Structure 1
Amino acid sequence: MAGPLVFITGASSGIGQALARRYHQAGWRLALAARRTGEIQAWAAQQGLDSASYAVYGADVADIDSIVAAGRRCLDEQGVPDVVIANAGISIGVDTACREDLDVIARTYATNNVGLAATFHPFLAAMTARRSGTLVGIASVAGIRGLPGHGAYCASKAAVISYCECLRGELRPASVKVVTISPGYVDTPLTRQNRYGMPFRLPAEVFADRAFRAIERGSSYRVIPWQMGVVAKLLRMLPNALYDRLLAGRPRKHRQGQ
């Protein structure tokens, strides 16, 4: 099939699946990567996708060789993507006093940070040679200010924001764009486990449509929904003492096994 190609990680559920649906609706070919390939195949069959319009690649973004191999297979089988979306990520509460949570922190960084860089890696040379393409990092509003009990996730998403900003400057001379999308609360299986209020929560399909349009425009950085961007900026401006009091007693994200 003709048409532009998008490569999406974490495409078996949640935001990744919603983005795949939105790009398919716009006539794009899909390269979908995830550990749970069976769920992607079942979803594609349910959506009635033409087998020529998509390909599925089994990969674990926390394993560098695994996700790099998936990217290279995409290059060989479908060509150079026009857009690469590093969406796969995990979010687990941590307590640094617990030894087992140090392993959770390491796994979070391996997935959310190293995995993001490894997702981009296979495509950089080809995009640079072609002098076009867009790399998209899915960050989070949680990366703008730290939340008690969310140390691994907040730190990893702050790193996504900084890393993508660095990469944007590096690739500008090659005309390759880097877009950072920071979701607020999006209704997915992941966020449904949260035990605290989630203001301005969006259905995944609404988020995907807004993200699609931001990526099409080549926005360097976008918070979705915009209201959460305003909230985050206000929280960033608060003095530490006031911010700490404001969050005192706030319910924390579930730790592993809870």
Structure 2
Amino acid sequence: MGLYRVRAGDGVVWITGASAGIGKALALQMARQGYEVVATARSADKLEALAAESAGMAGTIHARPCDVTDRDAMAEAVADIEATHGPIRLAVFNAGNYWPASGARLEIDNFAKTYEINLFGVLNGLVPVVERMKDHGRGQLVLVASVSGYSGLPAASAYGASKAAINNMAESLKFDFDLMNIRIQVVNPGFIDTPLTEKNDFEMPALMPVDKAVEQMIKGIEGGGFEITFPRRFTYLLKLLRMLPHPVYFALMKRATGWDRKNLKTGKAPDEAG
């Protein structure tokens, strides 16, 4: 008998970071496909609007405001969801944020707030929900990371490190979770057209519409493989690059990103000055 895989009608799907971007689109699509979804984010108004959008769908969305950085509130949310709606069969830890980190202007607060949301925001929900899944004898966990966790990228020392930690943590936890019939998966997207990527002021190769990204996520969640990554024409290229010797990797990445021409004082390449 294989590891547990969620199906519509089997219990509750809990999604964090569900008020915008991938989280919102995922909640809506899963509701369309008949799942009962509990959506979590800080904004109660946005969540209520999201829940209203699910009216008439095969499934439904329930709003449950909560801040992923509040450890006690996350534990209370898990208990409340199960008491109100039933057992959490699938938890998707999607909440995250990105702040560029410049090596010329390092700020500890930048790293701290990134880890607090992207890493500890996952752990604050993961720990209490795993205890519930252990008691139920089954469950499925999806941790949303990023291809920036594969290798170091310019301006992503804080964000990339937080996502690399998620990948490593998921790999390590899989050994024990398999024994408990708890499936764990990690999602490593490339550039997805969301409010988060709108912050970027550089060209984003293979930028993917959020609805297409969500289709790939659900396909991967229901398929059950450990890693879900898309668009593969971009993410598999990054997988290949991380296998290269460091001198080759750094040379190629500097050229691809323009960092071989960048001036740290101006933040521009010589031909962009003016």
Which residue in the other structure is 2:31 paired with? 24
| Larger of the two Rg values belongs to structure | 2
1:38 to 37, 45, 48: 45
1:57 to 55, 64, 69: 64
How far residue 47 of structure 1 moved from its aligned partner, in angstroms, is 4.5
1:67 aligns with 2:74: yes
Q: Residues 202-255 of structure 1, C-alpha deviation per residue, up to 9 Å, x if partnerless?
A: 111111111111111111112112222311112102222222223337369xxx
2:100 to 93, 106, 125: 93
Q: 1:47 to 1:218 in 2, by over 3 A?
A: same
How far residue 78 of structure 1 moved from its aligned partner, in angstroms, is 1.1
Q: In 2, distance between residues paired with 1:230 and 1:54?
A: 34
Q: How many residues align?
A: 250
Q: 1:251 to 1:16 in 2, by over 3 A?
A: farther
The range that moved more, 224-233 or 208-217, is 224-233
Q: Residues 163-207 of structure 1, C-alpha deviation per residue, up to 9 Å, x if partnerless?
A: 111121111111110011111111101102212221222111111
Q: Which has the higher contact order (CA 8 A, sep 6+)?
A: 1
1:127 aligns with 2:146: no
Q: In 1, distance between residues paired with 2:232 and 2:103?
A: 32
Q: In 2, distance between residues paired with 1:115 and 1:175?
A: 24
Q: 1:188 to 1:251 in 2, by over 3 A?
A: farther
Aligned partner of 2:69: which letter?
A
Which residue in the other structure is 2:116 paired with? 110
Name the structure with the higher helix share: 1
Aligned partner of 1:32: which letter?
A
Which residue in the other structure is 1:235 paired with? 241
How far residue 43 of structure 1 moved from its aligned partner, in angstroms, is 2.7
Q: What TM-score does the superposition give when structure 2 sets the normalisation length?
A: 0.85
Other structure's SS at 1:189 match: coil
Long gaps (5+) in structure 2? 1-8, 260-274
Long gaps (5+) in structure 1? 253-258
Superposition map of 1:147-166 within 5 A: 147-166=153-172
1:206 aligns with 2:212: yes
Q: What TM-score does the superposition give when structure 1 sets the normalisation length?
A: 0.90
The range that moved more, 180-189 or 220-229, is 220-229
Other structure's SS at 2:88 match: coil
Which residue in the other structure is 2:268 paired with? none
Aligned partner of 2:132: which letter?
A
Identity over the aligned pairs, expressed in percent?
Answer: 32
